[in-house]
């Protein structure tokens, strides 16, 4: 969604405050250059303290105080955290999960399919939306919060799942038994009544289908909320959700528990919550990855609805980092930077997830940096909003493949998102910007044509229609780069019983039927085209975690295993197919070596892989005026020198002209933004 | 409590014996110089084999046989281990804990608030006490065993907790919601009926209050037992409990699960169970720490009711260590050394927790050393009993702070007791003896005046009245030494929303509002007064686990962080306040560096920090005759030479006079005890 | 059991196939030289898709197609995996275990004592056996699959256990209380109704007896099935079970959960499932150990019913390894090599446990090696079948000791099977072949006389009759070699209360009553007879995990601890007793040192310990013709040269004569088989 300005603000909770500060806070927000707060999400009990009794005192206070300072408001439905009275009076609302019956206390513990829950949620939403109808500075709505199905799997959900399967298989039990391979270990289901609870299954197909069903429940829930909101919203008000990511102590990869691409259909704009390591460990990769997913959901600009100010212990940003992060979000196509949250909380589990203000609620060092960002946004924000990316490479991601690799793992340390990030981060460090697409996007007219290269990390489970789409992409001249564990099983995780990689042996010019876990295996590179001596000079490379024994049939061997234990076989192959090229990476290895491999592959396709490298990160796009915006980020403690090349450009932050050959020195954690008219 | 002699003995269980040996055992006890056994605790089923059927055969055998050899008896109430018939007939007696419903088998699995349990326990105690009334050589009673609430938290206990909260907050729900911050995540409680079971809570304030409530249940249980015992005991009989410690494979720190200071009000003398690593890992620190807590409970001498003979696998003592340990207990003010237990057990879970006798029940090497200790105690015990300590430094400990740091942990490896022991052990190694006080002790008249220095480890949660007491202590001339994470939240774990450290910014002459987890941060020391070149010469010191960015406002910077990432800030500060000094240690670091810091701080206060150092440990006090007793311990495998200084002294173990300048050579694991008349 | 040929084949599952390939598969089996398939086990739902509805379509297909290619069939009863309809309709069939109530999905989740389950199982077995009666090429039956009690311990099982105890103790509760030491911690049981569920117990005697009871349940279940099968089988048909092993990621040691020796009484031939590490980690030790247990169960040849083809990820065999493995099984006395399984599975939990064919179901590299083995078996199999071993050393193993060491563990990394394998593997590497016997075998006439040396690893719990048997064995001239933790408790895990080692202090010429966990303890060897300088030259050896302080009384000290901490004591002793020798190894240490110790001990008994060493492994026996068969295996990546000594021999694989002095060069992972007429 395009916006009129960069939204800059924070989540605000009047009800959490240890004292009445709302006027002071709104003034401080405005003085910091902020223009929006996000409220009400998570505070159901504030607005409905007793069953059916509504109280909008705090909501009113926030609406009034923000209006007084000219600050816009995004209102969240409060449905992700149920009140104590609800758990006490309707205990069935608490979900039954793999871990057993949920107990009251934390958020996101309810069964989102519970009729009692849905009835209460709808009443709450309708009361709140009625209450704020006509409030002009409410600019949009957030549905729920980081929604998933929270592993709900009680008896009623099992019945819903059986109904879903009946529909999926048109009532044909034999088809279900065959697709899932239920004959194995006597799991055959002879009548629908005998279908067991999925919880005990050892059948990865059955379990994966249930997880797909749970992702659908989460997306359906958001669509249901969106339909209610639609009855109330003005055309100028947007509807969003704050999608989050697979979590490894920070936002890491594709979220396994909701089909965000499908859920986003109900929204007018996608929102994301991005949290990342900071201080010595800040590298911007998670911001970039999260932004790529943000853009992918509506194929448009997105909103950063939550990101850290001071964040968790260990994330206290160095001076300058907060500003670097803010521009990094914009450089990915975000139209907002919103902190979670304004003030640090004085009780409960997120006491140490610190906000813009520390617990003393005073203007500290972090607030001062927030003010600097705000004043810059005020000056140049209009040139930065609605950035259009023009990436020539994309990743093909898939929830089914993610689930597949979780059902049949390579190793705990090498899951789907790890394979994705292995490739993604290497390209990030090389300053090759990438988009993200999903299997169903392959059918969008013109989409694959816009890319030179498609990366396919571990597409373990693959839809039937994906095979011809990738074949065609390659045949027409594209470069297809797939890793091990791709194209191995169908969408029900049944392993294909023909040659691997299924349906693409001619495209890749190779096949294989053996694989193992390397112990001390090594491989060497052979392609003389590899310019980097590190991989050219037959230096042995250690193979880790997984190796497939590729047998070329037409493909050239880029690297092969250095052992006669299993006969001669390749590790990495490249094949000409039609006008294009198909590369298959049959094993996992060190990320520096991967970078060199990808550098060779991309250089051969005309990408610039030599000029810039992390910690200097460049991100580009086109602004509303049709000009090229080039961000340069220094993600390090040391100054970096950069020589501008090409058309004259305007350095927006320093307001000076930069010509061909100009040296720009980026201070530690600094940013340069260039606007130029080049095509 | 003062005693007439050193009590030397062991726990004895006639009912556990694989054969009838009671006369032989009592003879061996007497020959070893022992004078007391501890019996009956844990043997409820022996004495009440069927519901309401009592059988005191074993009790009689032990009373008779001990009387025959002139051995005194401490009788324990057997209530901490319920009989099988009770679990079978009254299943509700088994507690519901966080892990679910307890099952029968182990001890300490019952709900100590269960009316059925209490009724049976009272009947058992009354029968036993009636039975032994008039038995002269029963010198005291032990209530239960290492009592806690065993995490009982079933529905009835939740109701009791709600009643406790109602009373605490005078029925004011708004106050409860505010103090606990229940507005967060929709946890607001609109009516008392809606108060959720605490088990699922994400609210640290709520959970911490429940743990405080559980500590109170345990203390109340002991007071209830004490009142029953009081009806039967003679004035010459004492009442005690064997308090234990936070456990890290050995007695480690303040026990989190009972308020021992409060429970001890019901006792006439405090008892402790001290277990510690032995062999190569024996250092005496846990004995010293346990003794300090023992003294703290009644501000008097205490009893060591259990300590190891051979103990757990890996604890087999070297020759001489058992004797070293025995004197170490006395040197801390204990009036007893009692082994758990006499004989090694032939079945069940403590088979390898070996006693004075091995499984063959013969006179082995350990028994021989026990005899040597016994004969020495017989000779010089009267000079050693009732030792009065005269320490000039104390630790301020707090259960609420311990709980607070567990709700909001720094890291799993740096909990409250680890911070306490970081300081305690450094002082122990420097031979600065310390006492332990609690927050409510600060109000005792004259108590703080008796100390030169008060150490405050991580007093995360602080009572309102503690702030002025510490302020006054410092102002009047004392030295206050506090670490990071002190004075951060109120007694309900609500973080203060004014400047840190709360209420003491002028006392410490600094404030801070930022903190983080160091990755590769270092600090350097600046104070030229530090005589040790290791910390004087600006050698960088690695900062670990936690760092607060202190901003001095009047204080001198003793050490500062070596980085410009967050601007200039201090790591350790010292401030003059009134006639005193306040030191704040804002981060965690290596224990050797800590020792050097404390050495400088204490030397400046006139403490002797240079003469003696671990493995030579010195402990002092005054005996009944008013003479000074000085213990010297060699906690090492190598001989240590010591030169006596000052007044002539009498070496009690060798019965010779030691004059100024005399060299004493302590053999490995040996002890020297000097009695002198100096003031 | 002697067989007419080597059975060579695989498990086959027509019902798992993604397409109809049965004729093609049987043809490929035959072409590979295979002569048997194992079917039907695990496929209950295939044959009884609805309660009481039987369908033998797949069974018929497999019987017909195998007959057409002349392939024999072993039929398994399908009872170890219950159908979904059974779990849905008879939920009580699912076992209650320590982890709670089982849920449907995986195999081996039922209560094998459930009357409902047994009734259904019997009906299924009878229908199947009736159906295939008269089918000539069914050569044998497999009962169930890797049977255990699956920790069933629900209320009904507890009642069965109480009945078992009543019988065991002739209704005498006092005896039970005494034997188990139930007086400890108030666990005394005053009436049978009060006997608690064993699940919560802290009494190792009680728990161990329950585990013995569970092992008996499993054996009884197999005997019950055997009795049913007996009603149907022809005299030429065998009955077997595929016993498995304690699992450490591969077959590792004695199976803790069934008394296989007792269960095997119901069989005509013992079968085993052997899985082992492969590729770089292939060493043959688990094959050898598994074979020794296989032979021990019926004191005869056994069948390898399952072993890996490609197996788990990481087990992909190097070229040649599959063949090496096949002969390794035969060299231990197996009369079969059967792969689990023919084809790789396309769904569910064992998708990556790959068979002879990969998922593409084509002739790959592994199939080619299977063909080579098959063609060799066809040529020389008759000379290899029914190999009779003539070992002069044996291990004495015990389930009770295994359980005892699990109740009272030395350490998680040194359990019973680890102590067994410590000794076993050292001897394996030295090419000293060993048998396995159990305590009750000691009473078999003539059995102990057939051995020169009996090794006793950690016989923690010992039967009364074992003591005189070992005493007599030694007295008559045998060598007894026992490790630490032997002879410590009676069969109820009550520690003996006389001198250790119980009843054998004169045989070993030493005693001890102290033991501990070494920290930095070392020991040195003293015996000048030790020819290896590494242990002769007083080189200190690090003692690990456990040390007993042996006090020699007549025995010579082979090694002693190098410390005065506990006085002088021995680590390893050797004693002359009668005509024999008794060695006691009082601590655990490095396996290379152990090898040197055992080498000295065995050399003194006339064993050849110098000629051959791993990776060259030699295994011998006598074939049906009375000739000596000598296998030589190269378990390494490098060629090994071997010089034949003695009588002329016939190299069976190369069909050439080998005379004294002939050099044979074994290629990596190669095998040589010599037949000779020497006595």
Q: pLDDT per residue over B384-423, tens digit each? A: 999 999 999 999 999 999 999 999 999 989 999 999 999 9
pLDDT of residue A564: 81
How buried is A641 (Cβ within 10 angstroms: 0-12 exposed, 13-18 middle, 19+ buried)?
exposed
Question: Within 13 Å, how many C-alpha atoms sit on residue A453's CB side?
Answer: 22
The residue of chain A with its CA nearest to that of C90 is A194
State pLDDT tens for residues C260-284.
999 999 999 999 999 999 999 999 9
Average pLDDT over residues C189-210: 97
Angle at C381 between CA C378 and CA C384, to 5 degrees: 170
Task: Name C493's Cβ contacts closer than 8 Å, sequence gap at least 6.
Answer: B347, C204, C205, C208, C403, C404, C407, C408, C460, C461
Question: 3-state DSSP call for residue B674?
Answer: strand
Q: Given CB atoms, is A347 within the 8 Å cutoff of chain B? A: yes
Q: Per the CB < 8 Å rule, is B347 touching C180?
A: yes
Q: For strand C72-76 and strand B656-658, is the pairing parallel, antiparallel, or unpaired?
A: unpaired
d(CA C526, CA A622): 84
What percent of chain C is modeled with pLDDT above 70? Answer: 98
Beta-sheet strands, E only, within B562-647: 570-577, 580-585, 587-589, 616-622, 628-634, 640-643
- Chain C 179-218, CB below 8 Å of chain B: which residues? 180-191, 193-197, 199-205
Buried b (16+ CB within 10 A) or exposed e, B142-171: bbbbbbbbbbbbbeebbeebeebbeebbee
Q: Per the CB < 8 Å rule, is B204 touching A107?
A: no
Q: Per the CB < 8 Å rule, is C348 touching A184?
A: yes
pLDDT of residue A536: 58
- Best CA proximity match to A140, nearest among A229, A272, A218: A229
Beta-sheet strands, E only, within A301-419: 303-308, 336-340, 393-397
What percent of chain C is modeled with pLDDT above 90? Answer: 94
pLDDT of residue C567: 87
Q: Per the CB < 8 Å rule, is B183 touching A46?
A: yes
pLDDT of residue C611: 79
Q: Given CB atoms, is A164 within the 8 Å cutoff of chain B? A: no
Average pLDDT over residues B50-65: 98
φ and ψ of A522, to 5 deg: -130, 165
Average pLDDT over residues B623-635: 97
Question: 3-state DSSP call for residue C164?
Answer: helix
- Best CA proximity match to A473, nearest among A503, A453, A496: A453
Q: Per the CB < 8 Å rule, is B190 touching A15?
A: no
pLDDT at B209 over 60: yes
pLDDT of residue B536: 58
Please report the sign of the dihedral spanned by the C-alpha atoms of residue B408, residue B413, residue B418, residue B419.
negative
Q: Confidence band (pLDDT; 50, 70, 90) for B243? A: very high
How many CB atoms within 10 Å of residue C228? 16
State pLDDT tens for residues C68-105.
999 999 999 999 999 999 999 999 999 999 999 999 99
- Say if CB C400 and CB C461 are below 8 A apart: yes
DSSP B500: B
Q: Point out the least confidently predicted range of C161-165, C441-445, C536-540.
A: C536-540
In the predicted model, residues of chain A with pLDDT beneath 70 are: 527-539, 679
pLDDT at C533 over 70: no
Taking one residue from B and the other from C, the number of pairs with CB-CB distance under 8 angstroms is 153
State the DSSP string of A167-200. Answer: HHTTT-HHHHHHHHTTTGGG----SGGGPPPGGG
Please give the distance of CA C109 from its chain centroid, rounded to a whole number.
Answer: 23
pLDDT of residue A537: 55
pLDDT of residue C440: 96
d(CA C481, CA C460): 14
- Best CA proximity match to A560, nearest among A525, A535, A528: A525
State pLDDT tens for residues A236-289.
999 999 999 999 999 999 999 999 999 999 999 999 999 999 999 999 999 999
Which one of A200, A407, A496, A513 would you mutate to disrupt binding with C, by most C Cβ within 10 Å of its Cβ?
A513
pLDDT of residue C532: 61
Which residue in the set B199, B516, B520 is minimally distant from A316, CB to CB?
B516
Distance between C164 CA and the closest CA of chain B, angstroms: 19
Please report the sign of the dihedral spanned by the C-alpha atoms of residue B35, residue B41, residue B46, residue B47.
positive
For residue B459, give both structure tokens: 């007093």
State pLDDT tens for residues C338-390.
999 999 999 999 999 999 999 999 999 999 999 999 999 999 999 999 999 99
pTM: 0.96
d(CA A110, CA B185): 14
The residue of chain B with its CA nearest to that of C502 is B360
d(CA A429, CA A289): 12
pLDDT at B435 over 60: yes
d(CA A600, CA A604): 6
Average pLDDT over residues C51-74: 98
d(CA B539, CA A114): 63
Q: Given CB atoms, is A107 within the 8 Å cutoff of chain B? A: yes
pLDDT of residue B537: 55
State pLDDT tens for residues C377-402.
999 999 999 999 999 999 999 999 99
Which residue in the set C194, C500, C566 is minimally distant from B88, CB to CB?
C194
Q: Given CB atoms, is C174 within the 8 Å cutoff of chain B? A: no
State pLDDT tens for residues B111-157.
999 999 999 999 999 999 999 999 999 999 999 999 999 999 999 99
Task: Name C250's Cβ contacts closer than 8 Å, sequence gap at least 6.
Answer: C275, C276, C277, C286
pLDDT of residue B526: 80
Which residue in the set B49, B87, B347 is minimally distant from C493, CB to CB?
B347
Please give the distance of CA A435 from its chain centroid, rounded to a whole number.
Answer: 11
Neighbours of chain A (3+ CB pairs under 8 A): B, C
Distance between A98 CA and the closest CA of chain C, angstroms: 12
d(CA A82, CA A87): 7
pLDDT at C679 over 80: no
State pLDDT tens for residues B338-397.
999 999 999 999 999 999 999 999 999 999 999 999 999 999 999 999 999 999 999 999
Q: What angle separates helix B365-384 from helix B321-331, to the nearest 10 degrees?
A: 20
pLDDT of residue A533: 58
Question: 3-state DSSP call for residue C245?
Answer: coil
pLDDT of residue A539: 67
pLDDT of residue A391: 98
Q: Per the CB < 8 Å rule, is B191 touching A279?
A: no
pLDDT of residue C564: 81
* Whole-Å CA distances, B261 to B241, B266, B291, B295: 12, 10, 14, 10
Q: Confidence band (pLDDT; 50, 70, 90) for B530? A: low
The residue of chain B with its CA nearest to that of C179 is B347
- Chain C 60-99, CB below 8 Å of chain A: which residues? 78, 81-85, 87-89
pLDDT of residue A402: 98
Q: Per the CB < 8 Å rule, is B346 touching C565?
A: no
- Best CA proximity match to C301, nearest among C327, C335, C261, C325: C335
Q: Per the CB < 8 Å rule, is B16 touching C517?
A: no
Task: Name C241's Cβ contacts closer than 8 Å, sequence gap at least 6.
Answer: C142, C143, C144, C147, C222, C263, C264, C267, C270, C271
Mean pLDDT over each residue of chain B, to the nearest integer: 96
Which one of B190, B461, B562 would you mutate to disrupt binding with A, by most A Cβ within 10 Å of its Cβ?
B190
pLDDT of residue C538: 59
For residue C494, give both structure tokens: 């009550």
- Say if CB C337 and CB C8 are below 8 A apart: yes
pLDDT of residue B531: 56
Which residue in the set B85, B349, B362 is minimally distant from C194, CB to CB?
B85
B chain contacts of residue C513, beta-carbon cutoff 8 Å: 358-360, 362, 364
Question: Within 13 Å, how many C-alpha atoms sit on residue A280's CB side?
Answer: 9
C chain contacts of residue B102, beta-carbon cutoff 8 Å: 200
- Chain A 214-273, CB below 8 Å of chain C: which residues? none
Q: What is the ipTM of this complex?
A: 0.95
Q: Per the CB < 8 Å rule, is C358 touching A496?
A: no
Q: Given CB atoms, is A47 within the 8 Å cutoff of chain B? A: no
Q: Per the CB < 8 Å rule, is C187 touching B49?
A: no
How many CB atoms within 10 Å of residue C314? 18
pLDDT of residue B609: 85
pLDDT of residue C528: 61
């Amino acid at each position: 969604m395009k916006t009129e300005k960069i939204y800059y603000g924070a989540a605000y909770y009047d009800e959490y405050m240890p004292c009445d500060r709302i006027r002071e806070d709104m003034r401080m927000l405005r003085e910091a250059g902020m223009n929006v707060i996000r409220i009400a999400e998570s505070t159901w009990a504030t607005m409905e303290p007793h069953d059916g009794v509504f109280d909008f005192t705090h909501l009113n206070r926030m609406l009034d105080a923000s209006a007084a300072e000219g600050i816009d408001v995004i209102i969240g439905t409060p449905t992700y955290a149920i009140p104590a009275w609800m758990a006490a009076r309707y205990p069935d609302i608490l979900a039954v999960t793999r871990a057993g019956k949920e107990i009251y206390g934390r958020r996101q513990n309810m069964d989102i399919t519970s009729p009692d829950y849905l009835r209460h949620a709808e009443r709450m939403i309708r009361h709140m939306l009625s209450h704020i109808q006509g409030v002009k500075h409410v600019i949009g709505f957030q549905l729920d919060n980081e929604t998933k199905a929270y592993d709900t799997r009680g008896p009623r959900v099992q019945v819903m799942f059986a109904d879903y399967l009946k529909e999926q298989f048109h009532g044909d039990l034999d088809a279900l038994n065959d697709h899932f391979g239920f004959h194995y270990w006597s799991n055959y289901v002879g009548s629908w009544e005998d279908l067991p609870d999925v919880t005990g299954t050892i059948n990865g197909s059955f379990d994966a289908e249930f997880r797909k069903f749970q992702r659908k429940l989460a997306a359906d829930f958001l669509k249901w909320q969106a339909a209610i909101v639609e009855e109330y919203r003005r055309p100028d008000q947007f509807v969003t959700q704050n999608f989050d990511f697979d979590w490894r102590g920070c936002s890491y990869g594709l979220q396994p528990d909701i089909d965000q691409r499908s859920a986003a259909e109900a929204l007018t704009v996608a929102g994301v919550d991005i949290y990342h390591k900071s201080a010595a460990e800040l590298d911007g990769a998670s911001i970039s990855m999260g932004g790529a997913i943000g853009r992918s959901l509506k194929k448009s600009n997105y909103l950063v609805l939550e990101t850290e100010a001071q964040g968790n212990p260990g994330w206290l940003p160095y001076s300058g980092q907060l500003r670097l992060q803010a521009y990094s979000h914009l450089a990915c196509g975000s139209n907002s930077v919103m902190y979670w949250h304004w003030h640090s909380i004085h009780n409960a589990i997120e006491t140490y997830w610190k906000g813009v203000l520390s617990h003393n609620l005073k203007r500290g060092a972090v607030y001062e940096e927030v003010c600097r960002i705000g004043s810059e946004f005020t000056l140049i924000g209009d040139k930065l909003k609605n950035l259009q990316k023009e990436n020539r490479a994309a990743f093909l991601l898939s929830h089914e493949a993610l689930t597949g690799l979780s059902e049949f793992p390579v190793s705990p340390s090498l899951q789907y998102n790890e394979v994705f990030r292995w490739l993604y981060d290497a390209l990030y460090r090389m300053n090759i910007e990438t988009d993200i697409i999903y299997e169903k996007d392959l059918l969008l007219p013109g989409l694959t044509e816009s890319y030179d290269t498609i990366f396919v990390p571990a597409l373990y489970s693959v839809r039937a229609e994906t095979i011809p789409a990738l074949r065609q992409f390659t045949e027409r001249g594209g470069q297809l780069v797939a890793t091990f564990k791709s194209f191995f099983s169908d969408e029900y995780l049944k392993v294909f019983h023909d040659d691997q990689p299924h349906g693409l042996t001619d495209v890749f010019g190779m096949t294989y039927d053996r694989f193992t876990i390397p112990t001390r295996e090594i491989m060497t590179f052979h392609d003389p085209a590899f310019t980097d001596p590190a991989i050219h000079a037959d230096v042995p490379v250690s193979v880790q975690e997984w190796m497939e024994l590729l047998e070329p049939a037409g493909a050239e061997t880029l690297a092969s295993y250095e052992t006669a234990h299993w006969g001669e076989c390749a590790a990495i192959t490249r094949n000409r197919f039609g006008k294009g090229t198909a590369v298959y990476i049959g094993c996992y290895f060190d990320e520096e070596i991967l970078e060199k491999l990808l550098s060779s592959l991309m250089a051969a396709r005309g990408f610039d892989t030599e000029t810039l490298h992390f910690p200097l990160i460049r991100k580009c796009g086109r602004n509303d005026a049709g000009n090229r915006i080039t961000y340069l980020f220094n993600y390090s403690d040391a100054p970096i020198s950069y020589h501008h090349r090409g058309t004259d450009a305007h350095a927006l932050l320093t307001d000076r002209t930069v010509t061909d050959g100009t040296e720009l020195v980026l201070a530690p954690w600094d940013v340069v933004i260039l606007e130029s008219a080049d095509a």
